[in-house]
Amino acid sequence: MVQQVHGNSRSERDERLNLPLIRHVVALVLLVTLADACLLAALVIKPFSEPLSWSIACWTAERFWGYMQQHWSSSLNAGPAVLVTGDPIPRNESAVVISNHQTYADYYLVQALSGPAGMLGRCRYFVKKEVVWQIPLFGWAFWALGMILVSRRWTNDAGLIERAFARVKRNEHGVWIVLYPEGTRKTSHKLLESQAFARRTGKHELEHLLQPRTKGFVATIQGQFGLKVALYPDLQLTQIIGLRNSHVRYLYDLTFLYVCPGKEARVPSYAEQLCRADLAAAGYEYHIHVRRVSTLGVSRRQRRERGDGNEWGLTKHRIAMSDLPQDEDALKEWCEAAWAEKDRRLEEMMRDAGVVG
């Protein structure tokens, strides 16, 4: 009898926890359906009024993402568990945003910053093309919003990327262009593969991060200057991105750290977070470090040759696009140096958070 009572109690508790999740899923389906309708209207209007079309798309995104963020921050009480350090982000400033990629739910952390900065509805992510047809309703919304759809071959994506960024530049749309240079979510298996690759190629071996795939980063930044982008030995494109001399002048380097109950350095799954009634009380922590570093625009080798003690060229200042290296090799070095610095920073963040294991 006692076991039966305990069993019923556990079942009732699970049911109480699942009901809010069910309501959330139903609300999401309804909201994304309404969002798709609004985005369809934006597409119809676009040939006649680009500013109005963009405004409708951003308004729709802000309402949808706002609901998602409110549910995570307030309903699941993740808000008090978000800890932000580093440099402040000004409001309404367009930027390229780079960060390490841990989970599909990383967008919650991006939005924890973009919301207060007035850019919640203006975030445009690099998204894998297959998402458009793999996720019903949501995938079409990503396409209609103007997310930057890419495959694993930049040669196939150049035209789409150029058009997406040319639209932003031509109309001076306020935007955060969010890019994960690692190209995929970190897992234990992928980390081992990445470390083996670093040893084979003589690169700096990272303890907590995957090696950045610099091709996308280089293409994005070099478009600022209208330089040739050597995507493959047999293919060079000029002004692939079309952001040269645009209003998108800054780059934010974000570092994410997830801490699970018991101070465990583990990335919680999306489902795990959604099924918790109170994330903060349960012991989850979400650490975000914002870094605005500046580089003198020369390579690591040049710094070493001239005796510059700051070999990587990283200081705590906002990253202006005009300050980044302009040649491809130096820009690759800059990205790899930034990831080496990020790996060290992540180690410090783990130590400061009291992470065990």
Nearest Cα residue to 126 out of 106, 146, 112, 140:
146
The region of weakest confidence among 86-100, 121-135, 250-264 is 121-135
How much is the pLDDT for 222?
A: 64
Q: What is the mean pLDDT of the chain?
A: 79
- Of 11 and 281, the structure prediction assigns the larger pLDDT to 281
Kindly give the interhelix angle for 328-352 and 214-222, rounded to the nearest 10 degrees: 120
Sequence-ordered list of residues with C-beta below 8 angstroms from that of 149, at least 6 positions apart, any chain: 127, 128, 129, 131, 132, 142, 143, 157, 160
What value does the mean pLDDT take over residues 20-45?
Answer: 90
Q: Is 107 a domain residue? A: yes
What value does the mean pLDDT take over residues 228-247?
Answer: 46
Q: Is 59 a domain residue? A: no
Question: Does residue 238 have a pLDDT over 50?
Answer: no
Question: Does residue 337 have a pLDDT over 50?
Answer: yes
Most confidently modeled of 71-85, 166-180, 237-251, 291-305?
A: 71-85
Q: Is 95 a domain residue? A: yes
Q: Is 36 a domain residue? A: no
How much is the pLDDT for 332?
A: 84
Q: Is 49 a domain residue? A: no
How much is the pLDDT for 131?
A: 79
- Of 31 and 155, the structure prediction assigns the larger pLDDT to 31
What value does the mean pLDDT take over residues 194-201?
Answer: 91
- Of 237 and 210, the structure prediction assigns the larger pLDDT to 210
Question: Does residue 142 have a pLDDT over 90?
Answer: no
CB 195 within 8 A of CB 187: no
How much is the pLDDT for 270?
A: 85
- How many domains does the chain contain in total? 1
How much is the pLDDT for 121?
A: 96
- The structure's pTM equals 0.81
Q: Is 207 a domain residue? A: yes
Q: Is 64 a domain residue? A: no
Question: Does residue 138 have a pLDDT over 50?
Answer: yes
Q: For residue 153, what pLDDT band results from cuts at 50, 70 and 90?
A: low
Q: Is 54 a domain residue? A: no
Burial of 89 (0-12, 13-18, 19+ CB in 10 A): buried
What value does the mean pLDDT take over residues 262-288?
Answer: 91
Question: Does residue 322 have a pLDDT over 80?
Answer: no
Domain enclosing residue 309, as ranges: 78-352
How much is the pLDDT for 154?
A: 60
Question: Does residue 16 have a pLDDT over 80?
Answer: no
Sequence-ordered list of residues with C-beta below 8 angstroms from that of 329, at least 6 positions apart, any chain: 299
In this predicted model, what pLDDT tens digit does every residue of 101-134 receive, in sequence order?
999 899 999 999 999 999 999 999 988 888 777 7
| Angle (nearest 5°) at CA 103 between 101 and 107 | 80
Sequence-ordered list of residues with C-beta below 8 angstroms from that of 161, at least 6 positions apart, any chain: 148, 150, 219, 240, 241
Residue 308: CATH number of its domain: 3.40.1130
What value does the mean pLDDT take over residues 143-163?
Answer: 75
